[in-house]
Amino acid sequence: MSKRPGPSRSAAALASWWSREGLPEQDRIEALREIAPELVRVETLATVSCGERTFPLQALHVGTDDLDRPVFGLFGGVHGLERIGSHVVLTFLESLLERLRWDKEARRMLRKCRLVAMPVVNPGGMWLRSRANPRGVDLMRNAPVDAEVRTPFLVGGHRLSRRLPWYRGEPGELEVESRALVDFVERAIFPARAALTLDVHSGFGATDRLWFPYAKTTAPFPSMTQVMALVNLLDRAYPHHVYRIEQQSDAYTTNGDLWDYLYDRHRAAHPERLFVPWTLEIGSWAWVRKDPRQLFASGGAGVFNPLRAHRYDRAMRRHLVLLDLFLRSVRNHRRWSGLEPPSPPAGDERPPGDDTDLER
């Protein structure tokens, strides 16, 4: 049987790198609501100005409205040049919602946990083809957090000039996008009994990396027990996975990391609860190594994004399993995190081997 013909999603996505008609990524956010309108809620957190244009900062909620339930948070497009991060997030959401049309088990899971997402955190920077936001601020250097160790010159964040990359912004001032992200996480994620987040980036090295905090210090991460438990889940479930897993400071240290800031705020308020923010750093230099012409792509897109359809398709497929594991692991956090004893089988959990409600 021949493959069913259809439009090339990868070709359309690659064309969007240079589109000046708007942001196709935000069109895809609106389209998600149409896939499963009874399960998806889209809200506008703020509006970003970019010259004469304005862009909404949008967030999605999928699953139960009970804020105490475990939650998985997905974020992309913090740096406007790294469009591939937004596309990984959107592709996973599209895949999940399509499955919810027919997968009763997936629907049942999302009655017991939540998925929230900000697929495009920096729409103005994406429109301008810039790492920074329209005001020249690197959002991932913008939090009121100073590194406890020496950071790389410029790369670690600075306040010399907004004309230079990695500019932190004014002291004590969160940018609109940063404030929207922080407020959203505190409102939608902090109340959960357990939470994992994944922020998808690209542009560092040729290897896909999973980073956990801290970026501000080389000191051991306080939630290392839970990190290692989750790594063990990944290693055992998918022993051939491609990820190098490390504390972010093993690669480099920075000032102003938003996830350092949010982790510390959550730990101070809810020390008994699970919250581990992760970063997926897609090793985009591998694409440049295979095709050095990407270095000369318009707007610098080729350093951060695949420019050939088969590589784009591979990137979309490559990380679906990881994101699904994060969602399922936060739903079942009691079985691996060590922070709560496994609850007795009463509605939320069934004893092992009990599948009596699979056909309901």
Mind listing the pLDDT tens digit for each residue in 333-355?
Answer: 999 987 665 555 445 444 444 33
190 to 13, 38, 155, 185: CA distances (angstroms) = 34, 24, 30, 6
pTM of the model: 0.91
Beta strands in 51-191 (DSSP E): 53-63, 71-76, 114-118
Interhelix angle 320-331/224-237, rounded to 10 degrees, is: 120
Beta strands in the chain (DSSP E): 40-50, 53-63, 71-76, 114-118, 194-202, 209-212, 244-247, 274-282
Instruction: For the chain, count helices (H), then strands (E).
Output: 12, 8
Q: What is the token pair recorded at 317? A: 């497929």
Q: What is the pLDDT of residues 42-88, one digit of tens each?
A: 999 999 999 889 999 999 999 999 999 999 999 999 999 999 999 99
Matching residue, tokens 């997968």? 103
Position 353 scores a pLDDT of: 40
Pick the closest to residue 120 from 83, 94, 95 (CA basis): 83
pLDDT tens per residue across all 360 residues of the chain: 445 444 456 766 666 666 666 799 999 999 998 888 888 999 999 999 998 899 999 999 999 999 999 999 999 999 999 999 999 999 999 999 999 999 999 999 999 999 999 999 999 999 999 999 999 999 999 999 999 999 999 999 999 999 999 999 999 899 999 999 999 999 999 999 999 999 999 999 999 999 999 999 999 999 999 999 999 999 999 999 999 999 999 999 999 999 999 999 999 999 999 999 999 999 998 888 888 888 877 767 778 999 889 999 999 999 999 999 999 999 999 999 876 655 554 454 444 443 333 222
Q: What is the token pair recorded at 117? A: 């997402």
The superfamily in CATH containing domain 41-334 is Zn peptidases (3.40.630.10)
Are the CB atoms for 68 and 189 separated by under 8 Å?
A: no
Position 222 scores a pLDDT of: 97
